Structure 1
Amino acid sequence: MHVIVFSPLLTPRIKYIFNFIFKDILKAEVEFTGNREYFLQSEHAKISYAEQPIGDELFFRNTKLLLSNKVEELKIKTTTFGDYTVPFPVEDSTLPFDVFAASFFMLSRYEEYLYKEKSEGNFEAKNSFQYKWKVLKRPIIDEWALILKNMLIKKHPSFKFFQKKFFHQPTINFTLKPDIPTGFFRKTKFIFSSVFNKKQRFISTILEDLTGLGTNPEELINSLEKLKTQPIYFINFIEDAKNRLNYVYSSLVLKDKTVGLLRPCTADYEKSSLLKADLTKLKQTQNSSVNLISQQLEVLQLPSCYLHLLSVGISSDYSMGYANQTGFRAGTCTPFSWYDLQLEKVTSLNVKSYAISDTAIQYQSAGDATTMINDFIDAVKLVDGHFYSSWQLKSLSENAKFKKLKAIFDEMLKST
């Protein structure tokens, strides 16, 4: 048995969000039809998304968002559902709001497209509707999916869903230090030019080591070998316009690890040519076919950022989150395919959303941060979702400055 969905108009948006909720989150097969007779005669579990019900199926009244193919300003009305606010209220429907339009609105980051047209600033958590509706801290789409699952089971007790399990994976990022050239003259020229090259940042890494704030990547990464789930390491490179640096020895610490590209948060860096250059470096450090995965912290500009990733062949991204705020930016704890609202199509870029980062919790007490993270983990476990967290490698060191963050990280691992 599978779910058959009837809609008089089957738009790309409708197919996208129904597939995400039923196939990706709930692990059920979905069939779409616009044929009323075929729908009525079907013996499968039935859902209609229309203006009026057809029979005794689970009926959800539609709103215009999923019927449109434009990105335009919306006058979003809200209602209450349980203990929180929800958008797109409807009447005489299985739920008092259009759960599919609400899910699409969050997952597609619809509001970020509109924000980009009105402001040149970065989109922050406080600008989001989820923040205003007080649902940012919840994987709300997955919670709604669980409600739909229970409704289907109640109406069709024999309906079976495929099993899924809770999954946790931390992502850890750092700047890979280059190998210092061998030979007196080459080494002298390298160090001399580094002193006067502010962009290169090599000397700053040396100063960190001298002051005790530096980290030993090999030592730290080896200490993480004991984790049940191995982290993904995202690395960036010291700027090197003349391409004089190499990473033969420094990259050995990443052998047999899952490694991706960490992209600096500057507008210029989003250019495809620069992405290609760093992907080439990444391939050289790995000495094999590279994992086409990436992460950008602090600033995520949509849709330009994701379009650049697609242009260079990156297939998976871990940037969906807020650097200075915890929560579920896209409203979900399930990986999803990015939907391009400009072209109105599903893309090949798979997005994993992180719920917390060390920069977002750095000013909280260890107790408060640990309690909050445990609440996130419990919420994700409830819906058998994926919990991603983002950390700087130095935050996991034994340095006194990072003692609190290291303790929080260790407590998080105990809960997963």
Structure 2
Amino acid sequence: MLLVYTSKISPRLNYVFKHVCTRVLGIKVEFTTKIEELIAHEDLKMSYTKQQLGNEFFVKSHDILFEQGLGDVEIHVQRWDETKCFFYNGDKSSIPFDIFSASFYLLSRYEEYLPHVKDEFGRFTATESLAFKEGFLHQPVVDIWAYKFKAALQDQFPDFEFPNRSYKITPIIDVPSPYHYKLKGLMRTFGGLVGDLSRLKFKSLYKRFIVLLGFKHDPFDTFKYIINRQKSSRFKFLFFFLIGDFSTFDKGVNPNKKKFVSLIKHVADYCRVGLKISFLALEDADMLKKEKTKMEAILNTNLKASRQSFSKLNLPETYRNLITLEINEDYTMGYVNHIGFRAGSCSPFLFYDLDYEVQTPLKIVPYQLMDYALLKHESLLDKKKVLNEIINEVQRVNGEFVPIFHNYTFGDSQRWSGFKELFNMILDSADDEV
């Protein structure tokens, strides 16, 4: 056990130390404000204060963990060996940066509460983030800093045996619509036919007819392939099905259709299934509750995981709505068009509500890659290169790699050519860790 001496045990301090020490490094942590207890402790120990007491392991503290609410935080990012960090400590500290305050800033998404420019969907974008602007979005810096802290502790306490964690993969399959042509209803099917005709898209018209007449497989119906990959993988896939009402943003299938319900149940026999929350339900608690209740009726069990449509988050409201409905996990923390670490970590963490200054029970599982972000790289070779780079970053800290693919990604569209191979690369990465 690590005992931390500090002048004040704040909720922020308790939250971030438990993430860095317990969730990332696997060691229990306790706190004390009594010097005598620190002196008497015979296991790992350190002080986290403004001034060092003696020759103990010491990290000079920044003010942010002892504040409340949002303030004007001055940040100067500096190089630290192979990575970058901020909240520099000076030479007297056992490590040169206050990694706990820096980790809190990133994990709490402090910057997303501050004024920023949103995109057309009202989302916080990668280009607005400190990580992008300072060039460390591609690294899980919170985990890297934790391992640097571990190495420094190991130097001072060479007899202590730290537990090891292992690299894992959580493949996400996002299903905004299970079928391209099927189960769309009479009006939408007719509208699609008219649209193809008016735009002279005869190839699409032909495809639509032969699929609807049962002569060809629907191009979005890749579930057999995905389930077969699940059967040969030791990592559980997690599907997110959209069952919300049809809208400008979400154009899924009516969840009352028996074939759609049967599909969800069939997938749930092999994989985990969560709810893809519709775009309109993000700001409508009643609609969200209705979608949750519907999915629970289909699955015949409590809903545990969610993902927001378009990866849109309104902090803290989005997460508060999930907590109210007792949804335990969310998989929205990431960027659609950029590969990297939105919260600076590849370890799941609990949502900290900055308005109420409280750690919540909601587990945030950040994703590092969505299939769309690979489209900007034209050749398959380039796609493989960037994919390998992000996998290696996660493997170096034995983190959790969470990629998001869509059901249609595995279809026969030229746009998604080679993506089955990329998906297989991810699944195989656990067999060739660095």
Q: TM-score range by the shorter chain?
A: 0.7 to 0.9
Give the number of aligned pairs. Answer: 399
- Contact preservation (8 Å) 1:177, 1:238: no
* Residue 228 (structure 1) aligned with residue 234 (structure 2): yes
My pick for the range that moved more, 337-346 or 375-384, is 375-384
Distance 1:285 1:43, change over 3 A: same
Q: State the partner residue of 2:106.
A: 106
Using the alignment, how far apart are the partners of 1:268 and 1:316 within structure 2? 17
Aligned to 1:360, which of 361, 373, 381?
Answer: 373
Give how far 1:405 is off: 1.9
Secondary structure in 2 matching 1:368:
helix
| Residues 72 and 396 of structure 1, relative CA distance in 2, 3 Å threshold | same
**1:141-174 deviations in Å (ceiling 9; x for gaps):** 1111111111111111111222321111110011
Matched, 1:369 2:370: no
Question: Shift of the alpha carbon at 1:107?
Answer: 0.7
Q: Retained in 1: the 8 A contact 2:222–2:410?
A: no
Residues 76, 88 of structure 1: 8 Å contact kept: yes
Determine the structure 2 residue equivalent to 1:201.
none
Give 1:318 shift: 0.9
Deviation of residue 10 (structure 1)? 1.1
Give 1:122 deviation, angstroms.
2.1
Structure 1 residue aligned with 2:425: 411
Distance 1:217 1:366 in 2: 21
Provide the residue aligned with 2:152 in structure 1.
Answer: 151
Structure 2 residue 277 is the aligned partner of structure 1 residue 276: no
Q: Following the alignment from structure 2 to structure 1, what is the Cα–Cα distance between the partners of residues 409 and 72?
A: 41
Evaluate the alpha carbon distance shift between residue 359 and residue 119 of structure 1 in structure 2; reply closer, same or farther with a 3 A threshold.
closer
In the other structure, the counterpart of 1:127 is 128
Equivalent of residue 307 in structure 2, options 289, 292, 295: 295
Match of 2:35 in 1: 36
Displacement of 1:192: 4.1
> For the structure 1 residues 96 and 370, does the alpha-carbon distance in structure 2 shift closer, same or farther, using more than 3 Å as the test?
same
Give how far 1:255 is off.
Answer: 3.5
Cα offset, 1:74, TM superposition: 1.7
Structure 1 residues 240 and 138, CA, compared in 2 at 3 Å: closer, same or farther? closer
- What RMSD in Å do the two structures reach over aligned CA positions? 2.9
Cα pair 1:272 1:311 within 8 Å, conserved: no
1: CA distance, partners of 2:188 / 2:410: 28
Superimposed CA distance per residue, residues 221-270 of structure 1 (whole angstroms, 9 cap, x where no aligned partner) = 33323223131011002526998645443334324221000123x35533
Q: How does 1:7-406 map to 2 (within 5 A)?
A: 7-91=6-90, 92-115=92-115, 121-175=122-176, 191-194=185-188, 207=208, 209=211, 214-224=219-229, 225-237=231-243, 239=245, 245-246=257-258, 247-256=260-269, 257-264=271-278, 266=279, 268-286=281-299, 288-296=300-308, 297-364=310-377, 365-406=379-420
CA distance in 1, matches of 2:98, 2:223: 51
Measured against aligned partners, the alpha-carbon deviations of 1:184-243 in whole angstroms (never above 9, x if no partner) come to: xxx9xx944546899xxxxx9995956987322442333323223131011002526998
Distance 2:392 2:359 in 1: 30
Distance (whole Å) between structure 1 residues aligned to residue 168 and residue 324 of structure 2: 29
- Deviation string, structure 1 residues 341-378 (Cα, Å, up to 9, x no partner): 11111101001111111011122122122122222222
What residue identity is the alignment partner of 2:97?
Answer: F
Per-residue deviation, 1:85: 3.8
The CA distance in 2 between the partners of 1:3 and 1:192, in whole Å, is: 64
Deviation per residue, 1:314-341 (Å, 9 max, x gap): 1001111001100011111111111111
Structure 1 CA distance for aligned equivalents of residues 61 and 109 of structure 2: 20
Return closer, same or farther for 1:75/1:238 CA change in 2, 3 Å cut-off.
closer
For 1:42 and 1:146, the matched residues in 2 are separated by 23
**1:400, 1:270 → 2: CA distance?**
36
State the SS of the aligned residue for 1:32: strand
User: d(CA) in 1 for partners of 2:176 and 2:77?
Assistant: 45
TM-score by length of 1: 0.87
The Cα offsets for residues 286-331 of structure 1, whole Å up to 9 and x where unpaired, read as: 2x21341011243222212111111211100111100110001111
Structure 2 segments unaligned to the other structure (5+ residues): 193-203, 248-253
Query: 2 CA distance for matches of 1:368 and 1:391?
Result: 18
Q: Cα distance 1:100–1:252, how it changes in 2: closer, same or farther (>3 A)?
A: closer
Give how far 1:402 is off.
1.8
1:92-134, CA deviations, whole angstroms, 9 ceiling, x for partnerless residues? 3222221111111011100001136x76842111111111221
The farther-off stretch of 317-326 and 217-226 is: 217-226
Residues 229 and 175 of structure 1, relative CA distance in 2, 3 Å threshold: same
Classify 1:39/1:341 alpha carbon distance in 2 versus 1 (closer, same or farther; 3 Å). Answer: same
Note if contact 2:340-2:368 (Cα within 8 Å) is conserved in structure 1: yes
SS at 2:31's partner residue? strand
Compared CA separation, residues 234 and 44, structure 1 to 2 (3 A): same
**SS at 2:366's partner residue?**
strand
SS of structure 2 residue aligned to 1:76:
coil
Output the amino acid matched with 2:320: L
- Structure 1's 167 and 22: CA in aligned 2 closer, same or farther, altered over 3 A? same
AA aligned opposite 1:127: E
Q: Output the CA distance in 2 between the equivalents of 1:253 and 1:83.
A: 46
Q: Which has the higher strand share?
A: 1
Q: Measured at CA, do residues 386 and 215 of structure 1 come closer, stay the same or move farther in structure 2, by a change above 3 Å?
A: same
- Contact 1:262–1:295 under 8 Å retained in 2: yes
3-state SS of the aligned residue for 2:158? coil
CA-CA distance at 1:281 after TM superposition = 1.9
User: What stretches of structure 1 of length at least 5 have no aligned partner?
Assistant: 181-186, 199-203
